[in-house]
Structure 1
Amino acid sequence: MASSFKPEQARAPPAVPLPIPPLTKFKIGICQLLVTPDKERNIAHALKAIEEAAKKGAQLVLLPEIWNSSYSNDSLPVYAEDIDAGGDASPSTVMLSEVSWRLKITIVGGSMPERYGDKLYNTCCVFGSNGKLKAKHWKIHLFDIDIPGEITFTESKTLTAGESLTIVDTDVGRIGIGICYDIQFQELAMIYAARGLFIYPLNHEMIMISTTFDILIGYRLLLHLFMNPLHYTRLMFLHLGAHLLCFPGAFNLTTGPLHWELMQRARATDNQVRY
């Protein structure tokens, strides 16, 4: 007797198709850098690594976390840059902008300490092939650790945690951005890989809209938000469905070897995206 099971009806609602990437095959350059106390030397070293990666055909180049600064609570305020001001206030991003435009590549610029007002952030900048800053991600999950006799570091002592998700369309596809310890929290990768439209109100509840029925609910939600402005002071729309997740990191040698590779494989497998 023939089965009445119809696979196409197994999902309700059906999955939203993943956006087609602009490129289906491209090279990625991953730059490992030895950081020194000399900021100018770090910038020059990163520039050379980017140029070498592009020379070998890389269309997307990634830098590591805190590549232009020593990674300590004492150093971060000293090396911090005013990214929005640019120019002499941010020589690291000036270099990334120039080289991305000159070589016509996309750069996920690892991360660097950023001074924003009276706060410091661990910030990842994404530059497009036109040299423009396409996105800026503030590390959400700060790394505080105390293993007696091994390692003690309290990132939150100096840095402020970010509160926003970052997903950006580039020449090589849609990329979800995180930084180092963000990888430990699977929900972030799951949200980036999800297909559909998300509404992100201030209360941090993620509301997904993926079908016509859900869109009607979304309009009702928007009406409620605008009728009750005191409840929500910020509203953000995210068209998700990332092709690639980039989480530049600088994991320590105590806990890093135990789970850094494992976490990458888990996030890639669970969410069926490149990591």
Structure 2
Amino acid sequence: MNTKIKLGLCQMAVTDNKNDNLEKALSVLEECCKRGADIAILPEMFNCPYDTKRFPIYAESMENSKTLSVISESAKYNNMYIVAGTIPESSNDCIYNSSVMFDRQGNIIAKHRKVHLFDVNITDGIAFRESDVLTAGAEVTVAETEFGRIGLAVCFDMRFTWLYSEMTEAGAKIIITPASFNMTTGPVHWELLVRARALDNQVFHAAVSSARNTSADYVSYGNSMVCDPWGNVVSRADEKEGILIADIDLNLVNSVRSQIPVNQIID
């Protein structure tokens, strides 16, 4: 099994035009391929403004999703794993915040529905209620890949340690979290949480945000990053649109776990 992996984190700008967003996604995914990425990752709600009023308008079913069809073709064309950030997924009169992972042949190998919905009311900060529109998922999600098992979570899930622990216990050595932290919690909690979930589970953790757009109703913090099992920041973006390439070696996971035997899931 190849332990060396090149991750491509796509911190793309998201607009209110779905077709433009898909064109941008295809462009950054192709650039990831040119730069040698094995796994490319898009941000949370990459085809849709992060706005509860917009989720029902942009929602797509798994069976008839233009967005997922486009990303599937990209995975196949570029011979690359892709985590399709998240999209608003419609199913049985419900809407979920769903992340879908494709293999190199464009096949869906995992789908994670955001378990913990973003419902907050911060004094002198942000108020937001995903639950007004979205339904919570209920599953722990781990994908089987040529590199071993990879866990999927979404944004606010990051604050709930049990979910990451269960992905780790299921064999994940990488956890990928498409996200869109805001300008209230991002500056104080983003790096802390990304590093903490890597450190306490002794895994690589890739957290991918959309780029910051100060004219949007919801302003993303950006700062996509990859952290290693020791809790170090391997690579980090700023707030602007761009692609972050990070080289990781899964041998470090076993090395850290053997030195500090907190997660004794060593193969």
TM range (shorter): 0.7 to 0.9
Specify the alignment match of 1:34 in structure 2. Answer: 13
The residue aligned with 1:72 is: 51
Contiguous gaps of at least 5 residues in structure 1:
1-21, 195-239
Quote the residue 1:139 is aligned against: 114
> Paired residue for 1:214?
none
Task: Tell me, yes or no, if structure 1 residue 253 matches structure 2 residue 183.
Answer: yes
SS of 1:246's partner is strand
Residue 257 (structure 1) shift = 1.5
* Residue in structure 1 matching 2:97, options 93, 97, 122: 122
Q: TM-score, normalised by structure 1?
A: 0.73
Instruction: Give the secondary-structure state (helix, strand or coil) at the position aligned to 2:60.
Output: coil
Query: Using the alignment, how far apart are the partners of 2:37 and 2:147 within structure 1?
Result: 11
Partners of 1:93 and 1:108 lie apart in 2 by: 10
Structure 2 unaligned residues grouped into runs of 5+: 206-267
What secondary structure sits across from 1:135 in the alignment? Answer: strand
User: What TM-score do you get using the length of structure 2 for normalisation?
Assistant: 0.75
Show CA shifts across 1:196-252 (max 9, x none): xxxxxxxxxxxxxxxxxxxxxxxxxxxxxxxxxxxxxxxxxxxx1111001110111
Match of 1:162, SS state, is: coil
Q: 2:140–2:166: 8 Å Cα contact kept in structure 1? A: no
Percent identity over paired residues: 42
Distance 1:23 1:123 in 2: 28
2:84 maps to a residue whose letter is G
Residue pairs, 1:1-275, within 5 angstroms: 22-83=1-62, 85-86=63-64, 90-194=65-169, 240-275=170-205
Deviation at 1:97, TM superposition (A): 0.5
Q: CA deviation at 1:193?
A: 1.1
Task: Name the structure where strand makes up a greater proportion of residues.
Answer: 2
Is the 2:42–2:178 contact (alpha carbons within 8 Å) kept by the matching residues of 1?
A: yes
For the aligned residues, what is the CA RMSD? 1.0
* Cα offsets for 1:60-115 (capped at 9, x unmatched): 001100000011111000000111x13xxx11101110010111111111101011
The residue matched to 1:174 in structure 2 has which SS? strand
Higher relative contact order (CA 8 A, sep 6+): 2
Counterpart of 2:47, as a letter, is: N
How far apart are 1:262 and its partner, in Å?
0.7
Instruction: Give the structure with higher Rg (CA).
Output: 1
